[in-house]
């Protein structure tokens, strides 16, 4: 059972109880009246009882107009006629007035009072010989009682209305307080307004700067979605006003609910009595007033959250800019950060030529807006014809200066750009500082690279001089050793001493002119002849060296000094790492247009894992550094000489204690035999 149906049942039950009380009092009066009045009064009471029960339990009778009031008044008038006047039967009219008051409110009480007076006067007229002047005072009593009952019923009804409004207001306020976003508050408010009694429709007006108002959140009957209003209507929207001043074809109220942004609530009312209109208007004002406070708090909260998000976006953008290591990366991070801050699009342009450095916005229109303007600034696209045509008249652009004639441009809503301009300036400032730092770093890097190249060039020259000096010292040692040996035999072989000195002079001249001479400039050498001379020099030192060479001359494309240097180094190396008296073999062959020379010893040998490194400068085979004198330069010099003359050099050994073979190949001289 609904609330209305339950209230109706309770009201009818109260009507029955009042009627039963009237019947009980009437029965008492009948008993007091005696036998003379019992029959008629008892008959009226029985009929009244039956009618009261019928009306209670047969609802169709309740809907028949005037049946219930006439029933009560007729029954009471019948009892007043049947009972003696001195018993005060007029008091029964109070019950009839009460029933009418419960059913029809103050109007019913007043109407029942008037009818009761008429009925009682009719009774007095009908019983004229029995009536006295003193019997007229109940008329005054009935008037007073009727007015009191009407006032009480009106007050109780008013209290019920106030309670109902309070309940509706509390329910609506409860729904509003659960909303956090401004849009949610408005969407909760408008349906609550539309549910109020006598409300035909409700909506929210958004007030624009161009005398244009837009209808947004709606419920029920509403005005057009967009209207252009007069200046007077705009002034009316700034204060509570009759709806007719804004929408002439509607009746109701217009109440401002927000100043920033400018919003107003419109409520259309049905045609109602002035008293009910005042009550409804009061409820609307109370509800909109409370909603205005909640909406203001929601807007403030939304603004603060948006500002916090903007601060967070700006901090994130600055961190990304500071983490970039290239100028292109800094510019790209600046544009991405600006787009997040304004929730729109952004680009970096050059106003001088309208080019776009980074971003997808058109450069020409933005350059037109940025030229001859003091930055930072927020500019409407309508300020420049090309910008208005490309971006639209309603578009708004924020312009912030960057370094080197570049401008950061961001496209977004005007209110957002106004609030976010300080954040864009912070990002632009961070970008300027980072770009300056990277430019300085790049300049220092360039200078460092140039300095590094100079140092490398000087270092190479110094190393070349040092290598030449080291090589000279090493190469001078072999001829001097031979000279020392020849000196001991000077009396027997002065010509050999003179040959070694000549070799020494050639070697020194060769070293001094190494920078000016290139391989191929020297006359070719006959390998076997030079090998015999080198063997002769080694035999003076007590070594057993043999030669294996073809009968035909083998002419190699290398100078005599370098070839002698090669042979001396390889034979000297074999002597140092071989036991005294062990034979050493020098072998010369021709194969594939190359001359091959090998020096074979039976010395300590070379481990397989060290064969690849024996030609490295200053490298000594493990375990020999202390046992055999030397600096580890001889073989590296041999490799440099062979490589410089287009040849190849390598070493072979079957392992420690099994000797070594050092071989190299050189191209044959032009015109030399190949077999």
- The pLDDT score that the predictor gives to residue 231 is 86
* Average of per-residue pLDDT across 168-186: 74
Q: Name the domain boundary from 416, 444, 472.
A: 444
- The pLDDT score that the predictor gives to residue 495 is 55
* Average of per-residue pLDDT across 172-178: 68
Q: What is the CATH number of the domain that holds 227?
A: 3.30.450.40
> Does a structural domain hold residue 352?
yes
> Does a structural domain hold residue 616?
yes
Collapsing DSSP to helix, strand or coil, 578 comes out as coil
Collapsing DSSP to helix, strand or coil, 50 comes out as helix
Whether residue 265 is found in the same domain as residue 412: no
Whether residue 364 is found in the same domain as residue 421: yes
pLDDT higher at 16 or 429: 429
Specify whether the backbone of 205 is left (phi greater than 0), alpha (psi in -120 to 50) or beta: beta
Whether residue 568 is found in the same domain as residue 613: yes
Given a cut of 70, whether residue 639 has pLDDT beyond it is yes
- Count of beta carbons in the 10 Å neighbourhood of residue 65: 7
Q: What is the pLDDT of residues 304-363, one digit of tens each?
A: 888 888 888 889 989 999 998 898 898 899 999 998 898 888 999 888 888 888 888 888
Whether residue 27 is found in the same domain as residue 126: yes
> Does a structural domain hold residue 149?
yes
> Does a structural domain hold residue 482?
no
- The pLDDT score that the predictor gives to residue 483 is 59
* 8 Å CB contact between 196 and 284: yes
Measured between alpha carbons, how far is 144 from 531 in angstroms, rounded to an integer? 160
Q: Provide the whole-model pTM.
A: 0.46
Whether residue 378 is found in the same domain as residue 290: no
Q: What is the CATH number of the domain that holds 348?
A: 3.30.450.190
> Does a structural domain hold residue 534?
yes
Whether residue 121 is found in the same domain as residue 234: no
- The C-alpha torsion from 553 through 554 and 560 to 563, rounded to 10°, is -140
> Does a structural domain hold residue 493?
no
pLDDT higher at 152 or 538: 538
Q: What is the pLDDT of residues 178-203, one digit of tens each?
A: 777 888 888 888 888 888 888 889 99
C-alpha distance from residue 204 to each of 220, 238, 246 (Å) = 12, 13, 13
If we measure between CA atoms, which residue out of 659, 674, 646 comes closest to residue 600?
659
Tell me which DSSP letter residue 382 carries.
G
Burial 334-369 (b: 16+ CB within 10 A, else e): bbbbbbbbbebbbbbbbbeebebbbbebbbebbbbb
Structure tokens at 118: 């008429």
Q: How many domains does the structure of the chain reveal?
A: 4
Grade residue 474 by pLDDT with cuts at 50, 70 and 90.
low
> Does a structural domain hold residue 26?
yes
> Does a structural domain hold residue 468?
no
Whether residue 537 is found in the same domain as residue 617: yes
Tell me which DSSP letter residue 266 carries.
E
C-alpha distance from residue 20 to each of 16, 27, 115, 306, 580 (Å) = 6, 10, 21, 70, 155
Could you tell me the residue range of the domain that residue 231 belongs to? 179-303
Grade residue 588 by pLDDT with cuts at 50, 70 and 90.
very high
- The pLDDT score that the predictor gives to residue 1 is 43
Q: Name the domain boundary from 237, 270, 303.
A: 303
- The pLDDT score that the predictor gives to residue 319 is 92
Measured between alpha carbons, how far is 540 from 493 in angstroms, rounded to an integer? 11
H helix runs in 34-57, sequence order: 38-57
Q: What is the pLDDT of residues 363-418, one digit of tens each?
A: 888 888 888 788 888 888 888 888 888 888 888 899 998 877 889 999 888 888 88
Q: Name the domain boundary from 303, 333, 361.
A: 303
Whether residue 291 is found in the same domain as residue 332: no
Collapsing DSSP to helix, strand or coil, 393 comes out as coil
Q: What is the CATH number of the domain that holds 532?
A: 3.30.565.10
If we measure between CA atoms, which residue out of 396, 430, 387 comes closest to residue 416?
396
Whether residue 9 is found in the same domain as residue 130: yes
């Amino acid at each position: 059972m609904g609330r209305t149906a339950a209230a109706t049942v309770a009201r009818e039950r109260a009507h029955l109880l009042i009627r039963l009380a009237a019947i009980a009092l009437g029965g008492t009066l009948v008993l007091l009246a005696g036998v003379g009045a019992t029959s008629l009064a008892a008959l009226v009471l029985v009929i009244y009882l039956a009618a009261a029960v019928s009306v209670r339990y047969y609802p169709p009778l309740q809907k028949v107009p005037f049946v219930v009031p006439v029933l009560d008044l007729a029954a009471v008038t019948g009892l007043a006629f049947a009972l003696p006047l001195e018993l005060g039967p007029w008091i029964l009219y109070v019950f009839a007035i009460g029933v009418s008051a419960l059913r029809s409110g103050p109007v019913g009480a007043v109407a029942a009072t008037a009818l009761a007076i008429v009925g009682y006067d009719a009774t007095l007229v009908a019983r004229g010989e029995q009536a006295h002047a003193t019997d007229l005072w109940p008329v005054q009593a009935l008037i007073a009682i009727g007015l009191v009952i009407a006032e009480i019923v009106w007050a109780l009804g008013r209290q019920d209305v106030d309670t109902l409004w309070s309940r509706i207001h509390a329910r609506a306020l409860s729904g509003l307080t659960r909303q956090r976003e401004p849009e949610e508050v408005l969407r909760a408010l408008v349906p609550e307004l539309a549910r109020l009694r006598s409300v035909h429709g409700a909506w929210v007006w958004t007030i624009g700067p161009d005398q244009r108002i837009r209808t947004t959140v709606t419920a029920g009957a509403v005005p057009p979605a967009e209207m252009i209003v007069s200046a007077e209507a705009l002034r009316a929207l700034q204060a509570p006003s009759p709806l007719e001043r804004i929408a002439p074809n509607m009746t109701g109220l217009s109440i401002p609910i927000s100043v920033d942004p400018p919003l107003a609530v419109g409520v259309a009312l049905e045609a109602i009595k002035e008293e009910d209109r005042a009550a409804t208007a009061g409820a609307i004002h109370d509800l909109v007033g409370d909603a205005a406070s909640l909406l203001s708090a929601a807007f403030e909260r939304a603004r603060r959250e948006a500002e916090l998000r903007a601060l967070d976006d700006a901090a994130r953008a600055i961190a990304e800019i500071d983490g970039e290591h290239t100028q292109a990366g800094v510019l790209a991070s600046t544009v991405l950060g600006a787009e997040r801050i304004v929730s729109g699009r952004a680009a970096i342009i050059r106003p001088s030529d309208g080019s776009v450095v980074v971003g997808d916005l058109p450069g020409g229109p933005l350059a037109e807006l940025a030229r001859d303007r003091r930055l930072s600034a927020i500019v409407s696209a309508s300020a420049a014809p090309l910008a208005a045509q490309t971006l639209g008249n309603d578009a708004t652009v924020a312009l912030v200066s960057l370094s080197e004639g570049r401008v950061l441009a961001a496209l977004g809503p005007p209110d957002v750009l106004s609030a976010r301009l300080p954040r864009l300036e912070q990002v632009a400032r961070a970008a300027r500082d980072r770009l300056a730092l990277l430019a300085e770093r790049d300049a220092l890097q360039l200078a460092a690279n140039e300095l590094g190249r100079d140092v490398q060039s000087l270092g190479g020259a110094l190393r070349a001089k040092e290598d030449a000096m080291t090589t000279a010292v090493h190469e001078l040692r072999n001829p001097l050793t031979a000279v020392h040996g020849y000196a001991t035999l000077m009396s027997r072989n002065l010509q050999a001493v003179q040959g070694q000195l000549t070799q020494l002079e050639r070697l020194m001249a060769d070293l001094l002119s190494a920078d000016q001479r290139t391989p191929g400039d020297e006359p070719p050498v006959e390998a076997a002849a030079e090998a015999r001379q080198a063997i002769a020099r080694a035999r003076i030192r007590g070594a057993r060296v043999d030669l294996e060479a073809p009968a035909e001359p083998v002419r190699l494309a290398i100078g005599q000094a370098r070839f002698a240097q090669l042979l001396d180094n390889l034979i000297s190396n074999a002597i140092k790492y071989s036991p005294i008296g062990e034979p050493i073999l020098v072998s010369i062959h021709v194969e594939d247009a190359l001359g091959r020379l090998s020096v074979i010893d039976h010395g300590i040998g070379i481990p397989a894992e060290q064969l690849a490194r024996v030609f490295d400068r200053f490298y000594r085979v493990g375990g020999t550094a202390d046992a055999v004198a030397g600096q580890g330069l001889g073989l590296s010099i041999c490799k440099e000489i062979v490589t410089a003359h287009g040849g190849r050099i390598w070493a072979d050994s079957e392992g420690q204690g099994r000797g070594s073979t050092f071989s190299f190949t050189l191209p044959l001289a032009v015109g030399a035999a190949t077999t």
